[in-house]
């Protein structure tokens, strides 16, 4: 039998090999593939551990271009940042389709953080007003930092507003953002203060209850709802969902896991038809995006396997080209 080799790639190398501009374009292509039926994506599965301290997430998938398949395994422990660890710890296994050989095993938290932020940039370029100048980030965790980095690298804003429950963490994120080159960075005392100025708002929290209310959202705002990824959590209220043109990454996962949408449907405020389109349909020109400067647009980001596959393929290809990673016989 032929000896197999697996390339093991660290989180440090994932970040080196996956620059935001490259990942943004790869994620855009992946989302077009999702909406044109060139992927296979079983819904994410979550196994909760006894006692409620954590969970295991499993995300398999297939992508048609570049053709590959793989699976992400994540330990989900919300309390980890308090001890200096990511709340999402795990591995991504990338395989080739010809013979099913495993090609690479890479650290998954960096991969997830980069591709998730890249997806928000993709949606913002497609749905936000072109003259948007002020970005607000609601939350202060790893994804908040990745979103700041991604926007500064690909779609810079003149002003960044930061809000978080932990004032010290908000100040740290603001200081880090200033070093990245944002022209003006401010920590705001309340989410309403951010909404009063922001053209684009990214929510990256684990909140179970709404932090943003439709009554406070200005006309013309674009919102990326990123943090609440299970049905029991939501970052905006029903009024915000109802007033918006609502876009998703993948209809099937939205109808199973998008807490904001599912709550609004359960309350009879909207129906499934409230979903205007998948973002891939907008990118492909088969569905409309923003109609006017006064509309409120929402992109519900749950994260899909095609994004991981597109990002992991880049990491693997560049690792081979540069000779990075450790080759291990298996």
Tell me the DSSP string of 124-178. HHHHS-TT--EEEEE--SHHHHHHHHHHHHHS--SEEEEE-SSHHHHHHHHHHHH
Kindly state the DSSP code that residue 40 receives in the 8-state scheme: E
Domains defined for the chain, CATH in brackets:
5-112+306-329 (3.30.1780.10), 120-303 (3.40.50.720)
- In terms of Cβ atoms closer than 10 Å to its own Cβ (0-12, 13-18, 19+), residue 234 is buried
Q: What is the 3-state secondary structure (H, E, C) of 61-95?
A: EEEECCEEEEEEEEEECCCHHHHCCCCEEEEEEEE
Which of 161, 154, 114 minimizes the C-alpha distance to 137?
A: 161
Strand (E) or helix (H) holding 252? helix 251-257
The pLDDT tens digits along the chain (330 residues) read 888 999 999 999 999 999 999 999 999 999 999 999 999 999 999 999 998 889 999 999 999 999 999 999 999 998 888 888 888 899 999 999 999 999 999 999 999 999 999 999 999 999 999 999 999 999 999 999 999 999 999 999 999 999 999 999 999 999 999 998 888 999 999 999 999 999 999 999 989 999 999 999 999 999 999 998 889 999 999 999 999 999 999 999 999 999 999 999 999 999 999 999 999 999 999 999 999 999 999 999 999 999 999 999 999 999 999 999 999 999
pLDDT of residue 229: 87
* Beta pairing partners, 265: none
Q: What is the reported pLDDT for 103?
A: 98
**Whole-angstrom distance, CA of residue 171 vs CA of residue 157:** 19
- Could you give the CA distance from residue 72 to residue 60 in angstroms, rounded to a whole number? 6
Number of neighbouring beta carbons within 10 Å of residue 73: 15
Q: Specify the DSSP class assigned to residue 245.
A: E
Tell me how far apart the alpha carbons of residues 47 and 91 are, in angstroms, rounded to a whole number: 16
């Amino acid at each position: 039998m032929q000896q197999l080799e697996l390339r093991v790639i660290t989180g440090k190398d994932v970040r080196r090999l996956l620059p935001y501009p490259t990942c943004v374009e790869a994620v855009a292509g992946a989302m077009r593939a999702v909406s044109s039926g060139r992927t296979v994506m079983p819904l994410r599965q979550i196994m909760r551990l006894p006692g409620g301290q954590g969970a295991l997430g499993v995300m398999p998938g297939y992508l048609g271009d570049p053709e590959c398949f793989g699976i992400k395994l994540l330990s989900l422990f919300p309390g980890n940042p308090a001890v200096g660890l990511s709340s999402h710890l795990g591995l991504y296994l990338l395989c080739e389709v010809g013979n099913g050989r495993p090609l690479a095993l890479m650290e998954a938290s960096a991969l997830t953080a980069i591709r998730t932020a890249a997806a928000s940039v993709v949606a913002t370029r497609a749905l936000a007003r072109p003259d948007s100048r002020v970005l607000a980030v609601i939350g202060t965790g790893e994804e908040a930092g990745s979103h700041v980095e991604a926007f500064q690298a690909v779609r810079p804003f003149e002003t960044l507003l930061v809000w978080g429950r932990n004032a010290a963490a908000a100040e740290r994120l603001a200081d880090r953002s200033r070093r990245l080159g944002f022209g003006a960075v401010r920590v705001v005392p309340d989410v309403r203060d951010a909404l009063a100025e922001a053209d684009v708002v990214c929510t990256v929290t684990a909140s179970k209850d709404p932090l943003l209310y439709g009554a406070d959202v200005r006309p013309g705002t674009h919102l990326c709802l990123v943090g609440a990824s299970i049905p029991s959590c939501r970052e905006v209220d029903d009024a915000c969902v109802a007033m918006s043109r609502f876009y998703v990454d993948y209809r099937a996962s939205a109808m199973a896991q998008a807490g904001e949408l599912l709550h609004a449907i359960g309350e009879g405020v909207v129906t499934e038809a409230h979903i205007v389109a998948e973002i891939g349909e907008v990118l492909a020109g088969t569905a409309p995006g923003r109609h006017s400067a006064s509309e409120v647009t929402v992109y519900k980001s749950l994260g899909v396997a095609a994004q991981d596959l597109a990002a992991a393929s880049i990491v693997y290809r560049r690792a081979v080209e540069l000779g990075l990673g450790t080759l291990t016989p298996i």
